[in-house]
């Protein structure tokens, strides 16, 4: 009799099925790596969009990459050995034809900087759907048109899909993963992004961007104490020792100063998890240990609609949802049925459903789920269910 696994959203943590609790030794994919120079830097300590009242980025000591700034600011920062990036948001890029978007990037004003650098805020919309495919085309053609332009990209919404990962590998100079979390129960969101970056060979030029302070959304904060910042930095060092650094978004005057002081000895933090609580080290082991069976990682957060490439926010017709699913196991998963359901209080109806024929071992797949009914909540609030015969499943909530 086939085993049916029905996985519902677990608010605030993981639902570990079957034998996931068996103790095994921690096995990191890469304990120590020779440091790779990124944009000529030995380490990348990035402070981005640090707009706290009274904050002067020139007072930072550990910073090696800063921005987005005005086009002429590079001269001061170059004298300090710091790379300064000029910003460009995605709006006009993805709302334009690819050739026009390339022109916008290539012909931007960089103030005469002989080593021009652009910070693109941000790519990563639909787990390999039309918007991601267009983003990849823009990056590739921009590099062809202007190879001297350093392309640095903020990657949002979770682990990077194949079409963008391969593009970043080929033409991006730095990838910045947006990992804005607060509590330990959310650290899985960082771990999945590191897993994807390592799989596609881009981790040596990828940094984790940590959110500081208030997110701007009611009741949602990120790392809002020095202790939380340090713990997240230590977690990054544990799971991503080959990464060239770390970065920060937002913050307050105090939190930016705290992050700066902590990063003055970033590479002195241990890569073996020393100094981290048991539950944090256990989470790291979830993504580094061996699993004999297919072991799938899913979350309602890792599902996005397929957006129309015109950047208007419209969805591709017929409408589909795209679910990012990781297989940590040593065996393939086959014919996995995935459903999205509204919460019970909003009807509990299944509104999208599809079958993923193959999720290869140590890989990921995108489940394309045709929309069959109305959904009444947005990303992270719906319920994800899997029928996955012969598989173990780890399901994370928001």
End-of-domain residue from the set 286, 302, 325? 286
Q: Give pLDDT tens digits for 234-265.
A: 999 999 999 999 999 999 999 999 999 999 99
Phi (first) and psi of residue 249, to 5 degrees: -125, 135
Statement to judge: residues 265 and 322 lie in one domain: no
71 and 209 inside one domain: yes
Answer with the one of 286, 321, 337 that is the final residue of a domain.
286
pLDDT of residue 334: 98
pTM of the model: 0.90
Answer whether 85's CB lies under 8 Å from 69's CB.
yes
Q: What is the 3-state secondary structure (H, E, C) of the chain?
A: CCCCCCCCCCCCCEEECHHHHCCCCCCCCCCCCCCCCECCECCEEEEECCCCCCCCHHHCCCCCEEEEECHHHHHHHHHCCCEEEEEEEHHHHHCCCHHHHHHHHHCCCCCCCCCCEEEEEEECCCCCCHHHHHHHHHHHHHHHHCCCCEEEEEECCCCCCHHHHHHHHHHCCEEEEEECCCCHHHCHHHHHHHHHHHHCCCHHHEEEEEEECECCCCCCECECCHHHHHHHHHHHHHHCCCCCEEEEEECCHHHHHHHHHHHCCHHHCCCCCCCCCHHHHHHHHHCCCCCCCCEEEECHHHEEECECCCCCCCECCCCEEEEEEEECCCCCEEEEEEEEECCHHHCCCEEEEEEEEEECCCEEEEEEEEECCCCCCCCCCCEEEEECCCCEEEEECC
289 forms beta bridges with: none
Query: What confidence score (pLDDT) does residue 220 get?
Result: 85
Is residue 5 included in any domain, yes or no? no
Q: Assess whether 301 and 237 both reside in one domain.
A: no
Residues 143 and 248 in one domain: yes
CATH of the domain at 66: 3.20.20.80
Tell whether 89 and 121 lie within a shared domain: yes
For residues 303-323, give the mean pLDDT: 97
**Rounded to 5 degrees, what are φ and ψ at 130?**
-60, -40
> Is 323 in the same domain as 224?
no
Quote the CA–CA distance of 106 and 138 in Å, as a whole number. Answer: 11
Distance, CA of 140 to CA of 334 (rounded, Å) = 33
Is-cis flag, bond preceding 228, omega within 30?
no
Mark whether 156 and 263 lie in a shared domain: yes
Residue-range definition of the domain harbouring residue 294: 14-24+290-396
Tokens representing 308? Answer: 């129309």
Based on the domain organization, do 167 and 273 belong to the same domain? yes
| Domain assignment of residue 30, yes or no | no
Clarify whether residues 267 and 224 are in a common domain: yes
In the numeric block, the tokens 């256990």 are attached to 282
Residue 8 inside a domain? The answer is: no
CATH, residue 365: 2.60.40
Rg from Cα positions in the chain: 21
- Domains of the chain: total: 2
Q: How remote is the C-alpha of 253 from its chain's centroid?
A: 25
Instruction: Write the pLDDT tens digit of every residue in 344-373.
Output: 999 999 999 999 999 999 999 999 999 999
Return the closest-CA partner of residue 322 out of 43, 95, 70, 127: 127
* Domain assignment present for 143: yes
State mean pLDDT over 30-46. 76
Q: Is 35 a domain residue?
A: no
Task: Give the separation between CA 272 and CA 182, rounded to whole angstroms.
Answer: 22
**Domain C-terminal end among 286, 316, 349:** 286
The 10s digit of each residue's pLDDT in 124-140 is 999 999 999 999 999 99
Tokens 């979350």 locate to 299
Residues 238, 313: one domain?
no
pLDDT for the residue 36:
67
Structure tokens at 391: 């598989």
Q: What's the pLDDT band for 35 if we cut at 50, 70, 90?
A: low
Locate tokens 């903020």: which residue? 154
pLDDT band at 13 (very low <50, low <70, confident <90, very high): very low
- What's the confidence (pLDDT) of residue 70? 93
For 97-127, what is each residue's pLDDT tens digit? 999 999 999 999 999 999 999 999 999 999 9
**Domain for residue 367, yes or no?**
yes
Asked whether residue 34 is assigned to any structural domain, the reply reads: no
Q: Do 208 and 300 fall into the same domain?
A: no
Same domain, yes or no: 140 and 196: yes
Q: Determine, yes or no, domain membership for 2.
A: no
pLDDT of residue 7: 35
């Amino acid at each position: 009799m086939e085993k049916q696994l029905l996985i519902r959203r677990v608010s605030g943590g993981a639902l570990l099925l079957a034998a996931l609790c068996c103790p095994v030794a921690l096995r990191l994919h890469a304990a120590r790596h020779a440091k790779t120079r990124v944009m000529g830097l030995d380490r990348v300590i990035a402070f981005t969009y640090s707009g706290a009242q009274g904050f002067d980025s020139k007072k930072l000591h550990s910073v090696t990459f800063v921005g987005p700034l005005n086009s002429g600011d590079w001269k001061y920062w170059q004298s300090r050995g710091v790379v300064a990036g000029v910003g460009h948001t995605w709006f006009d890029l993805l709302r334009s034809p690819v050739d026009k978007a390339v022109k916008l990037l290539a012909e931007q004003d960089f103030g005469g900087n002989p080593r021009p650098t652009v910070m693109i805020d941000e790519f990563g919309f639909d787990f390999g759907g039309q918007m991601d495919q267009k983003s990849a085309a823009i990056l590739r053609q921009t590099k062809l048109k202007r190879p001297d332009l350093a392309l640095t990209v903020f990657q949002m919404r979770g682990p990077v899909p194949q079409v963008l990962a391969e593009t970043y590998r080929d033409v991006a100079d730095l990838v910045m993963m947006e990992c804005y979390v607060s509590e330990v129960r959310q650290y899985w969101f960082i771990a999945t992004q590191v897993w994807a970056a390592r799989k596609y060979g881009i981790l040596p030029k990828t940094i984790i961007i940590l959110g500081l302070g208030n997110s701007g959304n009611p009741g949602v904060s990120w790392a809002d104490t020095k202790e939380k910042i340090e713990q997240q930095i230590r977690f990054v060092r544990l799971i991503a020792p080959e990464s060239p650094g770390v970065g920060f978004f937002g913050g307050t005057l105090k939190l930016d100063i705290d992050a700066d002081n902590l990063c003055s000895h970033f590479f002195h933090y241990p890569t073996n998890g020393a100094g981290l609580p048991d539950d944090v080290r256990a989470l790291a082991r979830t993504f580094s240990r061996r699993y004999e069976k297919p072991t799938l990682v899913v979350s309602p957060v890792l599902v996005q609609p397929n957006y129309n490439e015109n950047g208007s926010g419209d969805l591709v017709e017929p409408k589909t949802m795209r679910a990012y699913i990781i297989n940590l196991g040593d065996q393939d998963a086959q014919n996995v049925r995935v459903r999205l359901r509204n919460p019970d209080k909003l009807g509990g109806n299944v509104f999208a459903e599809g079958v993923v024929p193959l999720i290869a071992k140590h890989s990921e797949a995108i489940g394309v789920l045709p929309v069959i009914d109305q959904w009444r909540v947005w990303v992270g609030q719906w319920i994800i269910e899997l029928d996955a015969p012969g598989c173990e499943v780890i399901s994370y909530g928001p």
